[in-house]
Amino acid sequence: MRLIKFLVICVCWFNPMYTYGSTDLYEELIRVEQQALVEPIQYITILSSEQSVDKSPTSKNLFYKVLLARLYSFHGDVTLAKLTFDSVFPQLPETDTWLRGYWMLYRSNLSLGEGKLPQALKQIDQAIALFVRSNDLKMQIRARTTKAILLLWQEDYKLSIELLEAAYLASKTSQIPNSTMNYVYTGFAAYYTSMSIFDQAIKFAELAKDNVVNNGDVVNGLPIISVLCSTYERAQQLDLANACYEQMIDLSVTVKVPRYLFWGPAGKASVAIKQQDYSTALKLLYLAKSYLPDLAINPAHVVALYNNFAKSFIALNQPAQALEYLARSEELLNQYQRPLNNRYKRNTLLLKAKSQEIQKDFVAANESLWLFIDLVEEAKLSTQQKLEQEARSKFESTQQEIKLQLAEEKLKNQQIELERLEKDAQLQTAYSIIGFLAFVSISIFTFNQHKAFRKSQYRANTDVLTGAPNRRYILDFVLKKLLEREKLFAVAILDIDHFKHVNDKYGHDIGDQALIGFTQTLNEYLSDTDCKFARFGGEEFLVVMPGYDITKAKAFITGLCDLIRATSYTEETISLTSSAGVSQYIKGIQLNAILKQADEKLYEAKNTGRDKVCS
């Protein structure tokens, strides 16, 4: 079905009634545009002065106004950009479909920056329709690839990749200039970054960057560099990411574009957080924040900034400051609605729960986690993680579709003089081969999709460092397997004694090894039982014991603590002890209450000498 839709898009693009046919005037206007993209600040001065002198509503003057609005938007002068866009639109002739399409295309970019995604999508759809009526293939490719990028903001990855594939095929089989190809390359880079397929994302982003560097295109160059920087960062190529963000800042200073002076330090701060350099991260975050009052930045980027403040403060054990920034994130998220809000809210709630745990406000932390779980359930059918499974399994076949389409086009051109097959037997053989290949392709696709789904489920329920089940897995197990069925069970919260001392004395690498070894001990001890465990956070682990009452559970956990005490960990042969609090499920009480009771008993064990089990 997806291949059929892809072919329908291609047929529409290659139909003769849609071939490129812009007038000499529009060619002249595009040449002016290319010059303005190289020297945006100079052209803001030139175009604004020309508009004050010649106000006649000719196509050329109206185009210059739209171009001026676009340059204002790029510079970060959003108020001027809106005023200019809005003032010129009523003057655009109904009959000038190309100029109206140009207005819609670049007004949609500004709408996205304002956080108005539905409005941006309506505008880009109108731009596509207008460029189709104008028979301008180059502008259709610009508009369709822009729509593909907008669709990523609402997690419609399927339609996004279909538009990009069709644009790629159209550009490769027509005489499309490099300036238009940049839109295609940037679209693919954004898509593959969203899918975490970073080698492909980097390849396309670097292709786009090379083009704009060669053309001197600053207006398209800075967004492309921004995409490349974030892709390096997400791919954990942190040195390349840092160098890339430095280049963005230097170029922003040179051409005097404040909005990228925000994104540069914000990006470097994100890299610093990944490098656990939280003091540097905070300095960079405050620098990025200083640009906010003068700029209209997409609310999603501001939420990401505030959440990075929270991550840094959590790492520095300053939960109160973290919660202040998380409150700002929640306030922003409540002010605008879009599909990606679910993801940003989930990130915010997880950070909020961590901050509340540090403050020992376990009731509030559990409430935040339950809200997080509700959002996970709500997003199961639409969240990026679900769609990544589909995209990853389709990736290879998608690439093959493009290659086959291009190969077919080449063969048609080379063999145009050859006669078609005339014998039914030959046709039947061809159909049989096609049918066999289709069967093999579908089988491979189904296998890859199932494999990707299992892998994604494992990642979602597993702690990255230790390989142990995570909090999400264990809470889901308790809810669905025990609480809903009202079965007897007990829980224990274990905390490694003086673990901060291990990190301080031996370093975090040894501390991580100790956590991995601790996890292996739990695995061995629980291997012949029905008990489950999970890393609950930091050096805390939760053990769930189905069928155990409080007496049996305490004895079981005491044996576990004895084994932990007798085991040596890491290459430094470190000895560890653990304190534990045990509680039992009583019919009618909630999971929060069970966990709170276990946590109180853990607190008692810690305060009465450690290395003991309290119940």
Q: Which residues are catalytic?
A: 539
DSSP E strand stretches across 463-610: 489-496, 532-537, 540-546, 568-569, 574-575, 578-584
How far apart, in whole angstroms, are the C-alpha atoms of residue 529 and residue 23?
A: 78
DSSP calls for 18-85: GS----HHHHHHHHHHHHHHHSHHHHHHHHHHHHHH-----HHHHHHHHHHHHHHHHHT-HHHHHHHH
SS3 575: strand
Instruction: With beta carbons less than 8 A apart as the criterion, state whether 332 and 298 touch.
Output: no
Where does residue 44 fall: left (phi above 0), alpha (psi -120 to 50 degrees), or beta otherwise?
A: alpha
Helices and strands, counts by H and E, the chain: 26, 7
How far apart, in whole angstroms, are the C-alpha atoms of residue 171 and residue 184?
A: 8
- Inter-CA distances, 353 with 10, 306, 473, 541, 595, Å: 48, 15, 17, 16, 15
How far apart, in whole angstroms, are the C-alpha atoms of residue 418 and residue 398?
A: 30
- Residues ≥6 apart with Cβ < 8 Å to 259: 74, 75, 76, 291, 295, 297
- Residues ≥6 apart with Cβ < 8 Å to 404: none
Where does residue 534 fall: left (phi above 0), alpha (psi -120 to 50 degrees), or beta otherwise?
A: beta
388, exposed or middle or buried, with CB in 10 Å at 0-12, 13-18, 19+? middle
- Count of CB atoms situated within 10 Å of the CB of 254: 10
Report residue 64 as tokens: 């210059």
